[in-house]
Amino acid sequence: MDPLIKHTWNFTESEAVDLQKQLALKVIQNDQFNKINYIAGVDVAYSEDTDKLIAAVVILEATSLNVVESVVVEDVSQFPYIPGLFSFRELPPIIKAFEKLVTIPDLVVCDGQGIAHPRRFGLASHLGVLFNIPTIGCGKTRLLGENVEPESSRGSCSPLIVDDQVIGTVLRTQDNVKPIYVSIGHKISLPTAREWILKLCPKYRLPETTRQADQLVRKTLAKDS
């Protein structure tokens, strides 16, 4: 699975910001897909002692949430950690993992932000635009915006707002647990993104896509260390 849009990853900070502003114009914020059969989760883990990192893509069957394929790639960090430019650090190894996939996902859930980002172009949007695939940003923490606290029951939500614009939803996926932050990545509407994330959280706070990918990168990194 190759990206339809390819660009270099050798950017200065200002060049990366400029590219985000350009590509953000390509983000589609409504549902543009047919049936969702396979959903991908992506994650990256970093070694504490070296510049090594592990990227993984895990494909789940949409109805059963069973893992049908997983790919792991070992790489090294090429871009520094700069707030707001997360995708330039994580996407190069994630793309290498996508290139090895046999099963093509219909939807990708990213452990990060979509348009809930200062330039409306977080990791999920960047990945979605490059591959022209529906993506959802699902973050554990809020990057920006304001919201009221959703009610304590599973499925409760409240809008995440910046300058009177709704950029995401704050979703309670289980009773009495911390909410997560859901935003459009690409080719999906916010209500549909929220529905899918809730379906992907039958037992735990985080979606199974994120949990499975996170477990895989952590196990691989621990085994290689």
**Does 214 count as an annotated binding residue?**
no
- CA–CA gap between residue 126 and residue 86 (Å, rounded): 10
Torsion of CA 201, 59, 30, 183, to 10 degrees: 50
In this structure, what are the phi and psi dihedrals at residue 85, rounded to the nearest 5 degrees? -120, 30
* Of residues 120, 129, 124, the one with CA closest to residue 112: 124
Helical H runs in the chain?
13-24, 86-98, 123-131, 190-199, 208-224
Chain centroid offset of residue 192 CA: 15
Judge contact between 135 and 110, C-beta under 8 A. yes
**Does 43 count as an annotated binding residue?**
yes
Query: Which residues are documented as binding site?
Result: 43, 111
Query: Which residues are documented as binding site for Mg(2+)?
Result: 43, 111
